[in-house]
Chain A
Amino acid sequence: MSRRTRGALAGIAVIAGLSLAACGSGGSSNPLKSSAPPASKGSVVVGSANFPEDELLAEIYAQALQAKGIKVTTRFNIGAREVYYPQVVSGAVTILPEYNGALLTTSLDPNSTAATTAQVNAELTTKLPSSVEILSSSSAQDKDSVTVTQATAAKYHLASIADLKPFASKMIIGGPPEFKTRRDGLLGLKSVYGLTFKGFDPLDESGPITLSALTSGKVQAADVFTTTPQIITDHLVALADPKFDFAAQNVTPLVYKKGVNPTIVSTLNEISAKLTTAGLLAMDKQIILNKASYPTVASNWLKSVGLG
């Protein structure tokens, strides 16, 4: 074997060895991996659910905290609440922008009848495990809904979810996969409004797959999140919810208590104070329809409300 060959093999062995060592030590060589959640080091992990609005909110939290000198690692797109909630409870994620009503019925008490922001937050405060807590809710809400096209609403004279009762058995409803098993999904529609649909079509998180299925008639009703910009552009109708099947869903920071300090808490509460539904909708429009970048939209909003 020539010297060059020996050298090449030695090089490969060294790289292999280094990579193995890096793996063994948890790969600290990778700057993009999130670090462990230690309040002692003064750094936090800001996580998000798997849809753009929550990623945007997480980006806003992250930027605001970084501006205050706090070390932030981001972990976006973890998954649906069933997946990310345990991560916050365990402290792997320190901060996550949540929706109070959905959090209550999905992860804590599916039988809760809380409807208003105050009722929801009161129940959350008692029912959340001791390792986590919610901070101040913003007035901004993004709720699940039962949405139909204007044509469907006209055809069946639909104004509220209750009006669906005679027709639901002929309709297919679409939504994200978790809609099937959640209290905020089919289960609640059955128990509160007595609706049994012909079928359920698992689609996406109020994205183009759900919207195109709705507008084309593949599904006759769908769970469209209320700040989805296409509700306006596609002329969709989110049916009224007089019986409060969907509780208040205010944007509320969920935090791991040991991972936060007073500066972090006050920063997040300031954001909640300034966030409105209209503002959220405007940002969603920029992200989803105008394809603006998350960091830019986040920093523009922070500046516009005097926090950046």
Chain B
Amino acid sequence: MNAIGPGFAWLAQAQQWHGANGIPARLLQHLGYVGISLLIAALIALPAGLLIGHTGRGGFLVVSLANFGRALPTLGLVVLAFAVALAYLGSAGTSAAYIVPLVALAIPPILVNAYEGMLGVDPGLKDAARGMGMTGPQLLRKVEAPVALPLILLGLRTAAIQVVATATIAAYVGLGGLGRYIIDGLATNDYAEVAGGALLVVMLALAVQAAFVGLRWLIVPAGLRLQAQPA
């Protein structure tokens, strides 16, 4: 599509790399939005998914919550979050308006994959572990979680990419990040700026993807890696 050429040309302009609206500044803001939302989402969804998968109870809750979370439109949530933050935290609090919407977006993939990872642990393995005298928590920590690791990482990776792409919506309520180029470019009919912004987001997402592949290589034991499904 002929947006790519103008997009790269825009990126090549030296002026785009300086100042408060420069690429480094916006990239940093974007990474901040993504990092904080993923962290909070993981802190909520990982324990929940692991626990529900371990006990085997509440699977219906996982799927229902995931469905509900996926249905929530980020644009609406961002606007509402801004309004609520403004009302209760004042103007200063509105810079955090991205948190609830992006966390809501990130929870479903993390939760579902952690849960399914736990479900996929070979029952024979769990049996043997129990036979060896492991308690429930030990079983979770030493057997189930490590075996579920590939899917857990997949969930985090899926969530990360979705958040990288969707955090661009935050610019609609005057926040920063790479979405600034898309929203501002739309307002001034500057398709090169929109394309430049989109290219940056894609490159960031691909970098995140590569980082997760690298992480998988590092922390998932070879035996599990070979066994697990490709993305």
The stretch among A59-67, A153-161, A200-208, A231-239 that forms the contact with chain B is A200-208
**Which A residues touch B187, using CB under 8 A?**
79-80, 82-83, 176-178, 202
Report how many residues on chain B are interfacial, defined by Cβ distance under 8 Å: 19
Question: What 0/1 readout, one digit per residue, does chain B (185-203) give for beta carbons within 8 Å of chain A?
Answer: 0111110000000000000
Determine chain B's interface SS by DSSP, over half rule: helix
Question: Separation in Å of the A168 CB from the closest CB of chain B?
Answer: 16
**B15 at the A interface (CB under 8 A):** no
**B91 at the A interface (CB under 8 A):** yes
List 30 contacting pairs A-B, 8 Å CB cutoff, sorted by A: A79-B186, A80-B186, A80-B188, A82-B187, A82-B189, A83-B187, A83-B189, A86-B189, A177-B187, A180-B184, A181-B188, A181-B190, A199-B20, A202-B171, A202-B174, A202-B180, A202-B184, A202-B187, A209-B82, A209-B174, A210-B174, A212-B86, A212-B91, A212-B94, A213-B174, A216-B90, A216-B91, A216-B92, A217-B91, A218-B91
**B145 at the A interface (CB under 8 A):** no
Are A82's CB and B188's CB within 8 A? Answer: yes
**B220 at the A interface (CB under 8 A):** no
Determine chain A's interface SS by DSSP, over half rule: helix
Question: What 0/1 readout, one digit per residue, does chain B (161-184) give for beta carbons within 8 Å of chain A?
Answer: 000000000010110000010011
**Which B residues touch A209, using CB under 8 A?**
82, 94, 173-174
Question: What 0/1 readout, one digit per residue, does chain B (50-93) give for beta carbons within 8 Å of chain A?
Answer: 00000000000000000000000000000000110010001110
In the A-B complex, the 9 residue pairs with the smallest Cβ-Cβ separation, listed nearest first, are A216-B91, A82-B189, A177-B187, A177-B184, A203-B174, A178-B187, A80-B187, A209-B174, A181-B188
Report how many residues on chain A are interfacial, defined by Cβ distance under 8 Å: 24
A218→B93 CA distance, assembly (Å) = 11
**Which B residues touch A203, using CB under 8 A?**
174
Known: A80-B188, A202-B174, A213-B91. 12 other contacts (CB 8 A): A79-B187, A83-B187, A176-B187, A178-B187, A178-B188, A180-B184, A202-B187, A203-B174, A210-B174, A212-B91, A212-B94, A216-B91
**Which A residues touch B20, using CB under 8 A?**
199
Q: Which of B19-69 contact A (CB under 8 A)?
A: 20
Q: Which of B84-106 contact A (CB under 8 A)?
A: 86, 90-92, 94
A210→B173 CA distance, assembly (Å) = 10
**Which B residues touch A80, using CB under 8 A?**
186-189
Question: Separation in Å of the B77 CB from the closest CB of chain A?
Answer: 16
Are A204's CB and B174's CB within 8 A? Answer: yes
Question: Separation in Å of the A134 CB from the closest CB of chain B?
Answer: 21
A83→B20 CA distance, assembly (Å) = 26
